[in-house]
Structure 1
């Protein structure tokens, strides 16, 4: 479980970076800012990579989290970078990451 907690902290930290990056912008501005796109995509890759390293036990205990989709997004960002759809990236950041962050905060808060 200790390594799972470490990876969850990595995911939380990446989410918090993304939140800071996009806090004062909208979708249109995001799409025209290559540096912001690169930074957000990199943190999403880190989230997916950390999720890949979570133990099978942890993943099965928390099957309500779409771990497969998180890892699949990382694979698309890494291997199919030319096909990345910015609307999907944006919607993920605005809609899905806050939910994932809340889950991680609850898990971490339950630790001694």
Structure 2
């Protein structure tokens, strides 16, 4: 496998783990997510990173 592809896959994995970490200490309820602007922005940014890496693969 190409090293660039491995790097992008690593970026995807890291972004997923970061998203999961945002919800490790609290219940996963959409209302709580919706009310927390910082978490929403952080999740959105990680989804952007995932999408960008996938498009490069």
TM class, shorter-length: 0.7 to 0.9
Q: Corresponding residue for 1:18? A: 19
Greater relative contact order structure (CA < 8 Å, 6+ sep): 2
Give runs of ≥4 in structure 1 deviating > 4 Å. none
Report the number of matched residues: 54
Structure 2: runs of 5 or more not aligned: none
5 Å-filtered alignment, 1:1-112, equals 1-23=2-24, 24-25=26-27, 26-54=29-57
Structure with bigger gyration radius: 1
TM-score, with length taken from structure 1:
0.46
Q: Distance in 1 between matches of 2:37 and 2:23?
A: 13
| Gap runs ≥5 in structure 1 | 55-112
> Separation in 1 of the partners of 2:36 and 2:16?
19
What's the RMSD between the two structures over aligned residues?
0.9
Give the TM-score normalised by the residue count of structure 2: 0.87
